Amino acid sequence: MMNQQQRQSGVSLISLLIGLLIASIVVVAMMTVYQTSVRTMMKSAESARLQSESLSTLLTSHLSLQGAGYGMPVDDLLDNPDMAIDFSAAQFNGSGRLVTGGAGIALVWRYGVDTNNDFEVDNFRCEGLYVSADVGVVQLVSNSSCSTARRVSWPSIPWLQVPLASPSQLTNLDGEDAEINNFFVNLEDRDPPCSPFGMSDNASVQGVLGRRAVEVGYQRLVGGTPQTVSTTTCLVNLVPEGVL
């Protein structure tokens, strides 16, 4: 009786290895595409968040600056404008006092308050903005009386620092440091006069138009491209139209 040799069908070891290699290549390619998509989405979301917080920072500055010089006598505003608002390079020393000089920038302004609720200004306080590479952008608030906004008085003012923008927001999404000097404050005279946002430039009522304005902003890098975010505030309380 002759033994018949039966042939068995199946996949050889080499074919199996080739199939596993192809499958691995496909999986790696899919994972690479997925990671790239997630990374792009995260960068887009982070960019949108930073832009939103940057605009919020400047909006807060804009609202605070509108009170600069409020309630101050006109003669003081004309003869000593730096009593109402002053700007200088500055830093916080080891005692937590704001002093001139250093790598930071400070803008301080003075405004009147009604502490007796009788609709009359009976006290003055100071407020400000400070920016540096180590703290980012902060709002300076003080509940103490303030006789002048001049820089010589800054160390004597007990400041409360309210963070507006963290130091990470002064860098681009790739972690490259942005120049702190890109933060700028421009105090300028306006002729013709300026007007607050939403008010007509043709308004003639005293106090509606102003002759001085402050532009506050800073530049950061987004995807390697410089982006400038700024806001301009018309200071109607500083030498208002109709005084000169």
pLDDT in tens, 167-205: 655 554 454 444 444 567 777 888 788 877 766 555 544
**Model pLDDT, residue 142:** 92
- pLDDT tens column, 202-240: 554 444 677 788 887 777 666 667 777 788 888 888 765
Please choose, from the candidates 131, 147, 130, 142, the residue with its C-alpha nearest in 3D space to the C-alpha of residue 82. Answer: 147
Neighbours of 11 (CB within 10 A): 9
Q: Name the average pLDDT for the chain.
A: 77
CB atoms within 10 A of CB 82: 16
Give the tokens for residue 86: 């002053």
pLDDT tens, residue by residue, 76-104: 787 788 888 888 889 999 888 999 998 88
Of the candidates 152, 108, 106, 109, the residue with the CA atom closest to the CA atom of residue 131: 106
How are the residues of the chain apportioned to helix, strand and coil, as percentages rounded to the nearest 5?
30, 35, 35
